[in-house]
Every structure is written in structure tokens, then in C-alpha cells.
Amino acid sequence: MSVASRQLQSLIRREVLRFVRRPYNTFLPPLITNVLYFSVFGVILGSRIGTISDVTYIQFVLPGLVVLGAISNAFENASFSIFHGRWNEYIHEVITSPLSHSYTVAGYVLASALRGFIIGGLIIGVGFLFTSIPFAHPLYLVSFGVVTTTLFAGLGVIGGLFAEDFDHLTVMNQFLLRPLVFFGGVFYSLDQLDGLAYTASLLNPMVYMVNGVRYGMLGMSEINPNTSLVVLTAATVVVLFINLLLFKRGVGITD
């Protein structure tokens, strides 16, 4: 193993241990929240709605809740870690180390994506308590899980570099990300929308994520899963390039 690889491994290990050592803050809240989601939307409301596209309502909303938990945690981990490092000025130890900018970005993004991926898996586990999951296309499910968590880990890096205080991080997560998810076809079918609303929904990246994960889990999607995967992969590449550019220019660090 090269010196650069060991340095990258050390950065990832530090970032992973940061959230693993705080399980009550990392893992417990999404578990409790999703038990409530499944109880209210899946069991109580779902019994009144019945089925959507030949699947029960609780099965229909499950992929969206997985996406919500996964991307929120990936974003939160990266943004908080970067901003906390800036706030307490220990991020300079990483920046001034021999680790390259690309490896630095990779370390923060991979650790944060891993957290999002784990949370998504835990939410699927909670879903098993309420309904059956066929896992129609597991390869697609894993692919969409990797791409979406990586994308939002990269967005979290951008948020962490530009945030001026901790309130900004909360605003980004609660008032930007979550509304996009709730208007991304989590709780309703796109077929229920009229022409203009349907077209506007296609501009929401969450639609592609939710439908992609839904295809992987249930075998159904209102958008071609290959198209969704290409769109999200392209967006991820662009975001990671922006991450690298920001670190090279020292934005939020040397300003």
C-alpha cells in the first residue's frame, strides 16, 4: 500500500469513527423517525389508500423513506465534518498534510456516503418489520444507493465549505433537501399530476433517486431506471469536480 493510500485510509477511518462512536446520535434518530413514518403513513394511512400500481402503499413509500434517510445523513455528515473542522481550525491539519486534494475530497465523501448507505440499510431493516420487500433488482438498488449517497456527500462538502454558522447547515438540510424529497414522488405517484406539474417534477433530482430505488426494491418505476442512473451519475461527477476545485482554491478554508 502506497503512502497516499495509507493517508487516505487514515482520513476515512477518522471520519467513520466520528459517527460510529456516537450511535445514539447517528443511528437511533433515523430508526425512531422511520418507525413513526411507517406506522402513520404505511399502516394507518396505507390501510385507507390501499394500493398504488399494484403494490401496497407502505411498499410504495418505503423506497422514498430510504432515500430521505440516506441522503440526509450523507449530506449532514460531510457538511458538519467540514464545517466543524473549519470552526475549530483542525481542518488545516488535513489541508497542510501531504494528502492530495483529490484524496482529501475522496476521504470526506466516501466516509459520508458510507454513513448514508448504512442508514439506508437500517431503514430497509425497519421496513421489514412492516411489510415484505421483494428486492426485484438488487444490482440497481445498490447502484442507486452508491450514486445518491455519493452525490449528497459531495453536496455536503460544498455546504460545509460555504456555511458561515451551524444554523446554515440546518437550513440546508431541513429547508432545501427535505422539501425536494417530499415533492419527489415519495408519497404519491407522478401519474396523479397534470401536465405542468409532471414536467416540473422531472426537474427535481429526487424523482430520479426515488424511482431508481423503487425499481431496485419493487421492480416498478415511472422513469426509465437507466436514464435515472445516467442523470444521477453525471450530476455526481459534476459535484465531485466542484469539490476538488473548491479545495484547490481553498474556498472557505484559506479565505
Higher pLDDT, 188 or 241: 241
Q: What is the mean pLDDT of the chain?
A: 87
**Tens of pLDDT along 46-55?**
667 777 778 8
Does the model's pTM come out above 0.85? yes
| pLDDT score of 1 | 60
Domain boundaries, the chain: 3-249
3-state secondary structure the chain: CCHHHHHHHHHHHHHHHHHHCCHHHHCHHHHHHHHHHHHHHHHHHHHHHCEECCEEHHHHHHHHHHHHHHHHHHHHHHHHHHHHHHHCCCHHHHHCCCCCHHHHHHHHHHHHHHHHHHHHHHHHHHHHCCCCCCCCCHHHHHHHHHHHHHHHHHHHHHHHHHCCCHHHHHHHHHHHHHHHHHCCCCCCCHHHCCHHHHHHHCCCHHHHHHHHHHHHHHCCCCCCHHHHHHHHHHHHHHHHHHHHHHHHHCCCCCC
